[in-house]
Chains A and B, each alone.
Chain A
Amino acid sequence: MAKTNPEVDEITNTQKTINEFSINIATVNGSGSQTANLALIRSIFKMGIPVSGKNIFPSNIQGLPTWYKIRVSKAGYLARSQKTEIAVAMNPKTFTDDLDDLAPGGVFLYADHIKEPIPREDLLLCPMPVKALVKQAKPPRELRVYVANMVYVGVLAYLLDIQLKTLESALDFHFKGKQGAVDFNLSVIRDAFQWAENNLDIVSPFKVQPLNLTDGCNLANGNTAGGLGTIYGGMHFLSWYPITPATSLPEAILEYAPGLRKDPETGKSTFAIIQAEDELASIGMVVGAGWAGLRAMTATSGPGLSLMGEYASLAYYAEIPIVVWNVQRVGPSTGLPTRTAQGDVNLTYYLGQGDTEHVVLIPGSVKECFEFGWKALDLAELLQTPVFVLSDLDLGQNQWMTPPFEYPDTPIERGKILWEEDLEKIKDDWGRYLDLDGDNIPYRTVPGNQHPKSAYFARGTGHDDYANYSEKPEDWEEHLDRIKRKVDSSRTMLPEPEITTRSGSKNGIIAFGSTDAAVREACDYLAAEGVKLDYLRVRALPVSLKVLEFIREYEQVYVIENNRDGQMHSILSLELPGSASDLVSLSHIDGLPLSAEWIKDAVLEEEKS
């Protein structure tokens, strides 16, 4: 291979290629490559090296191209990298593209039965005898296609020095101890490893070497974390309807709640789950449950959220606590249902008819998905309003390195609920919408309360302080204004923004949600080029006053987001019209998680102009 290319020299510089590279694995979806890919990233993780895995997949069950991008980074950069140093080509249909995308000096593994031309000379080539190795393993016919993927696992293990024993523990975890499956897959991996050792004459410059940088961490996705957080938040009632990429959140609750939420005294379940007929019904059930005193939640994505608009709007006005997770994907309609975006910021914040502005929590890590899972339920009941949790496909479905989940540090908050004995103490008439405490949050009763004064009639129609039907102009205006003040006052109760400063920063950068990793990485690159930025991550809407202070502090603040129109930018501009001209929207949407490279380039361009 050509050694004259300076880029190749750079890439083969050992310092830079140990524990610092990306692998792009191209397969056909439905071929079971997920098992192979998870085994790889788990093994690398177990070796103590920071790693992330991103599934770039089609909306399809079998037969379309799918990619899995593994990023290995001793520096801890776990966002999607635009650069690929190692490619595994198992899919003839994408072979040429996969080849083209590879960085000079990269390693190209491919199934040797794919007979496509390879016009590049700046790569290390590794044809793999996939069919022969599968045949040698004699798998049952129906497993043939699946075990083929274990071939590249074995070859990569050889090329990159991935330990076989960590692969074994990864498979053991994956198959939940099913020894037969573990043994069989492992035997294919060993055969492939053996073949590579005996036959390959290339030496990969990219290697993994054990570190201890993942100690005390787990590999998990945000949806599982959100589901678990919900369970620890005392969720009573979940109603949901399947939709990518939210589905795995309710499914995590389905998996874990039966074991975790049995009353030890009676052995009965302290929760109920119902799969609804659609999102209109799932939110309807949740609103009914929330009204009746259950900590109720649902999870959906953009299209489902649109259908939920009317009930969410009613819940906002009738002041009913509910929690709605929106795991965003690319819209509208189906859009790119299996690709990620932050395109529902406005839809979620303003969901409803008339005037609505909701409380929205925005987790930026798997750990925060757990935390906001329980916190959302508390906030909904404390504020008696819908609380939305805005996640996305990248955070929800992909594998992230995360510290262990932290047990809630505050007790369950049920807010102002009056039971029989409370009503007994109230001499005058009790009013559902009376602001007794002057904090804009009234008291509520819930069905089942047997006190003769307990009942009230909930409705979307105008009502007075006593929940009586009213079309009086002043009643409508006063109530809508109080609700506005209530949601406004939540700014101090919601998760504060996370601020990271660098000395000498002249400008700031604001982001939210899953782009956190890419923004941090970009800030490092920018600092290296002399552009120092202080970074603020918004964690909730309506925004904290700290966000507004931050914006005022800098000459220019870049707002990074994974959508077309800069939706967060527009919300911040409305919050602080006087500083709107200092806010620079840098938004981008193509279905992929934002990369540090894109953010760096976008900021540099602005800095130059």
Chain B
Amino acid sequence: MDAIRARGITKCFGDVVALDDIDLDVAQGQIHGLVGPNGAGKTTLLGLLLGLAVADSGSLHTLGRPVGRALAAPDGVAGFVDGPGLYPSLTARQNLAALAALRGHDVRTAGIADVLDQVGLTDVADDRVRGFSLGMRQRLGLGAALLTKPRLIVLDEPANGLDPAGKRHVHGVLTRLAREGTSVVLSSHHMDDVEALCSEVTILATGRVVFSGPLNKLAAENRELDYRLLTSHPQSARRLAADTAGIRVVDGTEARHDAEVLVVRTLVPALDELVVRLVQSGIALRELAPVVSPLEAAYLALTEQQEDGR
């Protein structure tokens, strides 16, 4: 059973078509990324999943059941859009306790301390949220979602404002949840987060799906990428790259400022060939990474195509 199955979802606000015939499938236990430029319809789609709005047409099933036309979050679904809803006059613990009481849970047994620990806010549990940073609010928002023990979590930009430690915390929590069978749908502008967390991704542009599927499929379908190489002999490596078929040495990038770094534009097979030749020539390869992630490159290419096609 899919956690989400959407077919032909369309949502308009007046004359603006926010979502145009959207299909979406998210399997149980999957972390699914939703990316797209501002105004692509990500938040609208997440709002539909949370029951904050009703689509104009199409069908939407969450956790195997059809979503009704009433403005209400389906059972087992939790999360937030446009930032977590928290009350600044309450402490972190009070926010969660009020929410637990609202759900009819016994505050003493609702696992508030455990949730605070999971999101790394135990030390500030009794501080008023008024003084929290954006990252701390995001983590508390995630905690509020966890409190309901959901089977589907919907998160809008959960990594906003997170420092590296906070990000690691959140990633750890989401990965564990997915391992335990909870599905996660998150939107983000941070491609590295999406790549680190998500097994599948949907790219939206101007309310339409321009790609949906596994990340590796996206990379394979992609065109040439820029790769950054750090070698033991930069000049020799540069010559070798220039002599390799299908490889183009790129100037005018950040590498220009660092003579030690070589940037090449190529497809994966040609890159493999270059690596073999470097090693055979006795040149040590110390670092190899795409300048722009495959997801980001694909995202840029696909959304630009969409923009051009309008």
Do the two shown chains form a genuine complex with each other? no
B contact residues vs A (CB 8 Å cutoff): none
